[in-house]
Amino acid sequence: MTQRSRRLTSLWQVSKRLPLVSAAALLSGCNMVVLNPAGDVAMQQGRLVVMSTLLMLLIIVPVIALTLLFAWKYRAANKEARYEPDWDHSTHLELVIWSAPLLIIICLGALTWVGTHLLDPWRPISRTAPGKPVAAEVRPLDVQVVALDWKWLFIYPEQGIATVNELALPVDRPVRFRISASSVMNSFYVPALAGQIYAMPAMETKLHAVLNKVGSYEGFSGNYSGAGFSTMRFRVKGLSEQGFAAWADEARRAPARLDRATYLKLERPSEREPVRHYAAVEQGLFDAVVNLCVEPGKMCMRDMMAIDARGGMGLAGIHNVRALEYDKFAGRGTVPFATTSQPMMVAATCVPMKPREQAEEAVKLTSLAPLKGFGLSRPGVSSPLLTLAANTTSAAPRRAS
């Protein structure tokens, strides 16, 4: 063998290994946490993805292979291939073509139906790992999650603490997440723990999951939410029971306390927020966030819906607003509006008024300015609204002196 031949042989051997080396270099930067997670729920979801992909490949691979085979066999240069210009139908071929995809669709449907119901994020998990069912006396850890602009707030009601951009979980203990948002929709996603679940303002979603390995993992928002979206990430700590208790004790020694005023400051848009702890949390804060009533004196959404369900508040509720556009131009309780220095909101009611007080309030709040409308005459003092208020006032019983 000449020197030139040996050199060509060496180059050929190197070129054969080059694709493998390139693929290894590219795959070395891939994070396969979705298919190799640290939580049982994410592991079941990953297995569902793999099984669905394999079922679909049962059709894709033969179709691609047969396409290449037919193109090669029946090429124009192959004079030995059978030429049948009048061929138009084959019952056996039709059965194969339609029965195989039908069976795969049936299998995919059954697999997806069972998997999606067993892995429903609102459904409490029945096991912490394969062969390890959840004992009846085990209580899940409650974590309340609020997606802010652009950071994450985690509240631990059982421990009475809160954190920003840090989530600590004890391993092998079920976790029950209650998830909401302050302004726009985000997506709470920890690939090592479970699939992503949306965080939406004025709504609450749930997620049940478990972490099985001690370690450090990454969480982030999987839904674009504005300028600071790319840095809206948080660190997830998988700790033992003793480690989690020590972490909670350390958080209780933090100097800050999370009350409504502190939350309204934290809610303002900011980026790259450092990890911080709060030693105490005001009771009912998460429910106030969900019901859009963190500001003092603002009516909660649940109370507003309850009033609507009862038919409203009557005449006393006509002007029980400071403007209904309180969330239209700025974050709640943050920037003063151009038209007023006070935050715009629906005022809360504490105690139902008596009939006489309700009528007097209606008369006081009703504007006596003339109304203008096409084809309508100007109402006088005997307008229907004031007449109804006057009748209610005269019919109300007098207070005892």
- Average pLDDT rounded to a whole number, residues 37-62: 89
Q: Is residue 4 part of a domain?
A: no
Does residue 349 share a domain with residue 263? no
Does residue 386 share a domain with residue 326? yes
Has residue 399 got a pLDDT over 50? no
Quote the pLDDT of residue 283: 92
Q: Is residue 20 part of a domain?
A: no
Has residue 328 got a pLDDT over 60? no
- Average pLDDT rounded to a whole number, residues 243-261: 94
- Residue 217 burial class via C-beta count within 10 angstroms: exposed 0-12, middle 13-18, buried 19 and up: buried
**Last residue of a domain, which of 264, 290, 316?**
290
Q: Name the residue among 29, 36, 39 with its Cα closest to residue 236.
A: 39
Residue 83 pLDDT level (bands cut at 50, 70, 90): confident
Is residue 111 within 8 A of residue 55, CB to CB? The reply is yes
Q: Is residue 144 part of a domain?
A: yes
Q: State the Cα–Cα distance between residues 142 and 129, nearest whole angstrom.
A: 19
Quote the pLDDT of residue 280: 94
Does residue 345 share a domain with residue 279? no
Is residue 282 within 8 A of residue 258, CB to CB? The reply is yes
CATH of the domain at 72: 1.10.287
Q: Which two tokens stand for residue 27?
A: 């795959």
In this structure, how many other beta carbons lie within 10 angstroms of the beta carbon of residue 139? 9
- Residues across the chain: 401
H-helix or E-strand containing 135?
none
| CA dihedral for 107, 108, 113, 114, sign (positive or negative) | positive
Q: State the Cα–Cα distance between residues 128 and 137, nearest whole angstrom.
A: 14
- Average pLDDT rounded to a whole number, residues 21-40: 64
Q: State the Cα–Cα distance between residues 119 and 210, nearest whole angstrom.
A: 12
Quote the pLDDT of residue 356: 46
Quote the pLDDT of residue 68: 94
% pLDDT > 70, the chain: 70
Does residue 285 share a domain with residue 142? yes
Strand partners, 167: 236
Residue 20 pLDDT level (bands cut at 50, 70, 90): low
Residue for token pair 């049982």: 40
Residue 136 amino acid letter:
A
Does residue 285 share a domain with residue 227? yes
Specify the number of domains making up the chain. Answer: 3
Can you give the residue range of the structural domain that contains 106? 28-76+90-119
Does residue 377 share a domain with residue 235? no
Q: What is the 3-state secondary structure (H, E, C) of 371-385?
A: CCCCCCCCCCCCCHH
SS3 53: helix
Q: Is residue 10 part of a domain?
A: no
Does residue 331 share a domain with residue 274? no
At residue 140, what are phi and psi to the nearest 5 degrees?
-70, 155
Residue 346 pLDDT level (bands cut at 50, 70, 90): low
Quote the pLDDT of residue 290: 93
For 302-378, strand residue ranges (E) read none
For 127-271, strand residue ranges (E) read 127-129, 132-133, 141-148, 151-156, 161-164, 166-170, 175-181, 186-190, 194-199, 205-209, 215-221, 233-239
Highest mean pLDDT out of 3-7, 82-86, 219-223, 343-347: 219-223
Has residue 384 got a pLDDT over 70? no
Q: Is residue 81 part of a domain?
A: no
Q: Is residue 381 part of a domain?
A: yes
Does residue 380 share a domain with residue 284? no
Residue 370 pLDDT level (bands cut at 50, 70, 90): low
| Stated pTM of the model | 0.70
Q: Is residue 400 part of a domain?
A: no
Quote the pLDDT of residue 36: 79
Does residue 276 share a domain with residue 158? yes
**Last residue of a domain, which of 290, 319, 339?**
290
Has residue 181 got a pLDDT over 90? yes
Does residue 219 share a domain with residue 273? yes
Has residue 388 got a pLDDT over 50? no
Does residue 309 share a domain with residue 246? no
Has residue 329 got a pLDDT over 80? no
Q: State the Cα–Cα distance between residues 222 and 203, nearest whole angstrom.
A: 18
Residue 96 pLDDT level (bands cut at 50, 70, 90): confident
Q: Is residue 114 part of a domain?
A: yes
Q: Which two tokens stand for residue 275?
A: 């990890």
Has residue 337 got a pLDDT over 60? no
Has residue 254 got a pLDDT over 50? yes
Residue for token pair 């943050």: 334
Mean pLDDT of the chain: 78
Quote the pLDDT of residue 394: 43
Q: Is 239 left (phi over 0), alpha (psi -120 to 50) or beta?
A: beta
- Average pLDDT rounded to a whole number, residues 310-331: 57
Is residue 167 within 8 A of residue 234, CB to CB? The reply is yes
Residue 348 amino acid letter:
A
- Average pLDDT rounded to a whole number, residues 357-381: 48
HSE-CB of 330 using CA atoms within 13 angstroms: 15
Residue 189 pLDDT level (bands cut at 50, 70, 90): very high
Q: Which two tokens stand for residue 202?
A: 């004025």
- Average pLDDT rounded to a whole number, residues 131-145: 91
Does residue 257 share a domain with residue 135? yes
**Radius of gyration of the chain, Cα coordinates, nearest whole angstrom:** 33
- Average pLDDT rounded to a whole number, residues 91-111: 88
* DSSP label of 170: E
Residue for token pair 């003339």: 370
Q: Name the residue among 319, 298, 302, 321 with its Cα closest to residue 310.
A: 302
H-helix or E-strand containing 291?
none
